[in-house]
Structure 1
Amino acid sequence: MARDSNQPRKFVEEEVLPVINDYWERAEVPLDLGRRLGELGLVGDGLSGYGCPPMSKTAAGLIAMELNRGDGSLGTFLGVQGGLAMRSIHMHGSEEQKQRWLPAMARCEKLGAFALTEPRHGSDSVSLETEARREGDEYVINGAKRWIGNGSLADVVVLWARDVEDMQVKGFLIEKGTPGYDGRAIPGKGALRALWQADIDLTDVRIPVQNRLPRANSFADTAKVLKATRASCAWSALGHAVAGYDAALNYTSQRTQFGKPLARFQIVQEKLVRMLCSITAMQLYCLRIGELDDTDELSDTIAALGKLNNTVKAKEVLSEARNLLGGNGILLENHVIRHFTDIEAIYTFEGTESIQTLLVGRDITGFSAFT
């Protein structure tokens, strides 16, 4: 982790919060802030070697929490870069691929993306239709992807496609500027506005055989990456909830109505206490997830349970925070409405609340509701 354990919080307080509302309102990516993450040694998601800053999985979770406390777009930028793109290469790539990409990505000199979701396959990602066909020393890829963070600007895209030879899902690296790759930022988003998520069309995209991830040979290998990022979503949701709670506590302590601060009213105190109860439970989920992840004991079920609980609770906390700020709760300057809308995206990606419920339900009952 960074030498100063308070560095992520200082970065958020001093560099992110003063400017992020303008980026969010303009729907512009704060690339300078993204690059700063690499300069500060905050990118790596607990991966080892290859220029990744040394940190435990718990430390990586705390960094994700702090960045999302500042802004969900920046937190998701980190999740895409370290948790998805870098982790895929670190887990499934060749030694040459790791040496080429990971050190530069850890410094945020090169940006990555993770292309799994498709227009016709969101939750049902295992049924993806993008195809890769080997022709001599190349793979030819055709298909489409949607909701791909950094997909319109990444230097390398980790793309998941079905190999027509054996119909297994495999991973491929597509480099910036490859002919046939067309990534366009999706307009009109009401959440994570300071992150560009792309629609991608792939038309006869040709890549060398060396650009296939050699250890990614089925969707089960893709799922290994997703398990880790579900855990990260629990930390991210905690960051959003803490931001909402802090804003509500500060506002109600200063805002005077009926001759006294709002925080002196019993009903306001009751709401704040319930918010704190939820946040404390979310913290305990995250700490346990971190402990299990650090010892390689984190199961798919626990990761899903943590993501499910924390995103649901974060939505409740942020709804109450917006309520406590009254009409002022919809103003960006009060740092609630941005988190209120951003949590909707985190609630959905990496598997919706319903999908996480079915993953846990399958484990506790022994019956799969997916088939």
Structure 2
Amino acid sequence: MKTNSDYYGIDSYFTDEQLSVRASTRKWVNKYIKPTIEYYNQSASASKDWSKQLADIGAYGLIIPVEYGGLGMDYLSYGLMMQELEKGDTAVRVMSSIQTSLVMYAIWQFGSLPQKQKYLPLLASGEMLGSFGLTEPSFGSNASGMHCNFKVVEDKIIINGSKLWIGNASHADIAIVWAKNEDNKVQGIIVETANITNFSTSKIDNKWSFRSSNTGELIFDNSELNKVQLLEKTTSIKDAYSCLNIGRYAVAWGSLGIALDCYETALKYANERVQFGKPIASFQLVQKKLAEMITEITKAQLLCYQLGVLMNKQEATFEQISMAKRNNVVMAQKVAQEARQILGGMGITGDYPIMRHIMNLETLVTYQGTHEIHLLITGRDITGINAI
């Protein structure tokens, strides 16, 4: 049995440092996430220890410069970390990705020096937890049509509106909130949840997916905070999208992690499960499923690797990131479905990770840009015609 999921020897492309990041992340996931994740998933809860532990392994701010509390590592290292975290569970990867890709990245790219010095070390250490407020009740794919708005009155910012489907919403210490100013231009604001008036949050319960992830709403009603909280370098919705690009990159790698976990589980099970006097791995149709799974995984690995190379060179386009996010999520869906069939009835139990991954993938297919929107982004790029 070939247990190595690196069918094309892609590991030879990675540096020792990059492989070390993957190994240490995998060790943490195997020790702290896999043994307990089914309990947390079934109870729709998360461990109080996850956030501090993620900070301890460098999962908050891996790509942020050392001078601001990060580790200053490259995007291939970050991708491998996201892959291993999501092999554990999507909720764990989401905690890391929101903090790094969306919150810390936004402050690093668009914040003033005092804002970077104040917030980034606290976020990297896990002393502060962040959220990213872009989506609204009526605006998802059309984020630029947002209603959330603000005005500056003397030394205060006054915000009105709400943000929905926000990770970490109900217990975040800060939120990067995107809203329109009086000139109808979108800017980002660092909202300290403990230092703003007329502000409230709500938590979305009764979810079938992302069950161990805290998701909710940010609600502003003439909410006031100091104008120094404005991310003054932000000038348009494109700035918010640049943060989402890093988040989508993380999803591309993370969904690959799901596919690997499902494939490896199915391969092991197929060699151990005996029917008609022999392992089901000996049957042609089971081998067909496994062969197609590893083929699609290998293609996704190559896609992720090359995208990481381009990210490190600062040459990756958002269209290329969209392609990887879209392809890898759908690939992982198909792999997970085939794995569930190989496991038969056991595939729907909490004894195995398959059904939990399937439910999380149902969210990932529309998370940070729907499958259809990402298709049209590629279509526009290759034809030059905007169909959105």
Q: Which TM-score band (shorter chain)?
A: over 0.9
CA distance in 1, matches of 2:312, 2:48: 30
CA shift at 1:128, angstroms?
Answer: 0.8
Among residues 315, 328, 334, which one is paired with 1:316 in the alignment? 334
Shift of 1:213: 0.5
Q: Deviations over 1:166-189 (max 9, x none)?
A: 100000011122222211110111
Deviates more, 1:101-110 or 1:277-286: 101-110
Contact 1:42 1:53 in 2 (8 A): no
Shift of 1:300: 1.1
Give yes or no for contact 1:45–1:83 (8 Å, CA) kept in 2: no
In the alignment, is the contact (CA less than 8 A) between 2:110 and 2:233 conserved in 1?
A: yes
Task: Indicate whether 1:208 and 2:223 are aligned.
Answer: no
Deviations for 1:324-348, whole angstroms, at most 9, x for unmatched residues? 1111111112111111111111111
Distance 1:245 1:22, change over 3 A: same
Paired residues of 1:2 and 1:42 also in contact (CA < 8 A): no
Q: Aligned partner of 1:182: which letter?
A: S
2:259 corresponds to: 241
Q: Is 2:188 aligned against 1:171?
A: yes
- The one-letter amino acid of 2:129's match is L
Q: 2:291 aligns with which of 266, 269, 273?
A: 273
Structure 2 counterparts to residues 190-339 of structure 1, below 5 A: 190-339=208-357
**Unaligned 5+ runs, structure 2:** 1-16
Q: In 1, distance between residues paired with 2:166 and 2:377?
A: 23
Question: How far apart are the structure 2 equivalents of 1:98 and 1:169?
Answer: 21
Q: Does the residue aligned with 2:162 lie in a helix, a strand or coil?
A: strand
Match of 2:128? 110
Match of 1:17 among 24, 34, 52: 34
Q: What code does the residue aligned with 1:172 have?
A: I
**Mapped pair 1:47 → 2:72:** no
How many percent of aligned residue pairs carry the same amino acid? 35
Give the distance between the partners of 2:61 and 2:170, measured in 1 at CA: 22
Using the size of structure 1 for normalisation, the TM-score is 0.97
CA distance in 2, matches of 1:41, 1:76: 14
Q: What is the aligned partner in structure 2 of residue 34 from structure 1?
A: 51
CA distance in 1, matches of 2:37, 2:157: 41
The alpha-carbon deviation at position 34 of structure 1 amounts to 2.0
SS for the counterpart of 2:221 is strand
Quote how far apart the aligned CAs of 1:45 are.
4.2
* Partner secondary structure for residue 332 of structure 1: coil
TM-score by length of 2: 0.93
Partners of 1:238 and 1:31 in 2: how far apart?
26
Q: Secondary structure at the match of 2:364?
A: helix
SS of equivalent to 1:167: coil
The residue type equivalent to 1:298 in the other structure is A
Q: Given that residues 85 and 112 in structure 1 are in contact (C-alpha distance below 8 angstroms), is that contact kept between their aligned partners in structure 2?
A: yes
What root-mean-square deviation, in Å, do the aligned CA atoms of Structure 1 and Structure 2 show?
1.3
Contact 1:43 1:52 in 2 (8 A): yes
Unaligned runs of 5+ in 1: none
SS in 2 for 1:161: strand
Contact 1:46–1:57 (Cα < 8 Å) also in 2: yes
Mapping of 1:353-368 within 5 angstroms?
Answer: 353-368=371-386
The Cα offsets for residues 254-298 of structure 1, whole Å up to 9 and x where unpaired, read as 111122111111111110010000100010010011000001001
Aligned equivalents of 1:2, 1:188: Cα separation in 2: 38
Deviation for aligned residue 1:47: 2.2
| Between 91-100 and 30-39, the greater mean CA deviation after superposition | 30-39
Q: Is the 8 Å Cα contact of residues 19 and 77 (structure 2) preserved in structure 1?
A: no
